[in-house]
Amino acid sequence: MTGIRIFPGTPLHRQAISDGIITADTVLLEPVFYLAPAIRDTLCEMVAARALARKNWVAPGMELNMSDAMLDALRRFPVRGPMWKQLKRLGRSRIRPM
C-alpha cells in the first residue's frame, strides 16, 4: 500500500477519477491509494536506491536492509522506540533486493 488513501468527495477523489485510477462508481470501503502517474513507474527504484544508501531504512515487502523474517522476529521482542534506532544498533550488513 503506497500512496495517499482516497476518500469519497475529496479533491483527491476527483483527481483519481480524472487520472483513471478509479471510476466514479468505485467503492472505497476497502482502502484505495492514489499514486501520481508521474512517479508510479519509478517509485520502487527511488525507494530502493535511498534505502540501500542508509543502513537504518527498512522497506517492508521489498526486503531492503532486512528480510521479512528478520523484521517479524524483531517485532516480537519487547523493544521500545522507533525501529530505525534499533536497526542502527544492530550494525548488521546490508541486504540487497533479490
Residues 39, 46: contact at Cβ < 8 Å?
Answer: yes
Phi, psi of 33 (to 5 degrees): -115, 140
Q: Which tens digits make up the pLDDT trace of 48-72? A: 898 888 877 777 777 777 777 777 7
- Per-residue confidence (pLDDT) for residue 98, from 0 to 100: 45
Cell numbers found for residue 89: 544498533
Arithmetic mean of pLDDT, 86-97? 59
- Per-residue confidence (pLDDT) for residue 90, from 0 to 100: 61
Domain boundaries along the sequence of the chain: 4-39, 43-90
Q: Which tens digits make up the pLDDT trace of 7-25? A: 999 999 999 999 999 999 9
Residues 3, 35: contact at Cβ < 8 Å?
Answer: yes
> In 3D, which of 17, 35, 18 has the Cα closest to residue 26?
17
pTM here?
A: 0.57
Helices marked H in the chain: 11-18, 37-40, 43-52, 68-76, 83-90
Top pLDDT among 26 and 94 is at: 26
Please determine, for residue 88, whether its predicted confidence score (pLDDT) is greater than 80. no
**Pairing, β 4-5 against β 33-34:** antiparallel
